[in-house]
Amino acid sequence: MNAERTNSSKVLSEGYKGIIKVCGMRDAENIREVENLGIDWIGFIFYRKSSRFVSQVPDYLPEKAKRVGVFVNETKENIIETTERFALDFVQLHGNESPDFCEEICKEGVRIIKAFSIEDSFPIETVKEYESVCDYFLFDTKTLQYGGSGKKFNWEVLSHYRGNKPFLLSGGISPEDAESIRQFQHPMCAGIDINSKFEISPALKNVGLVRQFIDRIRL
């Protein structure tokens, strides 16, 4: 496993200091190029219905960036097997997994990111149930699919989150959102998750576009 990086828990107006996660990657050389931009976490999707599904271990896996495996309503056995095969640092549960299920995975020594779909209001009570069994939360846009929709939710609803678990902001973040990311502030916002708006095609990221975005938010 890679050593934990130190990251700010806020997005500061003078420049973004938090975690940058690029999700939905698959191509070995593309992974290497994106990692070399200084990305903190790289996500691999193990949901078979996703156009970014990873079926086999790429010829190159991140050596500096954290490895995050994204699962949707998968079995405990398959999650643990995949975690070991890809040497994952985090498991992101993006389906309807219960707090008890999260706790079972935790007991296997796996660090968990639990994703929640956000629509018009913030699910305060539901999120609260997971605080003791997860390391991070991820707030994404509610859609018929499980993430990767390229759609944004109203970030203002996150003002209702008063929990003590750090979260990643996700859901349709695009290159045009650089200034909004720089201005967004929440005491528990640990980072951002980018994906479909930075792609040439599913699972293939536009490295130049990612570089420009990072340069803009880290000014």
- Estimate to the nearest angstrom the gap between the alpha carbon of 30 and the chain centroid: 18
Nearest to 37 by CA among 208, 193, 153: 208
Q: Please confirm, yes or no, whether 140 is among the known catalytic residues.
A: yes
Residue tagged active-site, from 40, 140, 177, 193: 140
Q: Count Cα neighbours of 40 within 13 Å in the Cβ-side half-sphere.
A: 19
d(CA 89, CA 96): 21
Burial profile 135-163: b = 16 or more Cβ within 10 angstroms, e = fewer:
ebbbbbbebeebbbbeebbebeebeebee
Residue tagged active-site, from 23, 102, 134, 189: 23
Q: Please confirm, yes or no, whether 189 is among the known catalytic residues.
A: no
d(CA 126, CA 131): 10
Collapsed DSSP state (helix, strand, coil) of residue 214: helix
Q: Using CA of residue 200, residue 206, residue 208, residue 211, what is the dihedral sign? A: positive
Q: What residues are labeled active site?
A: 23, 140
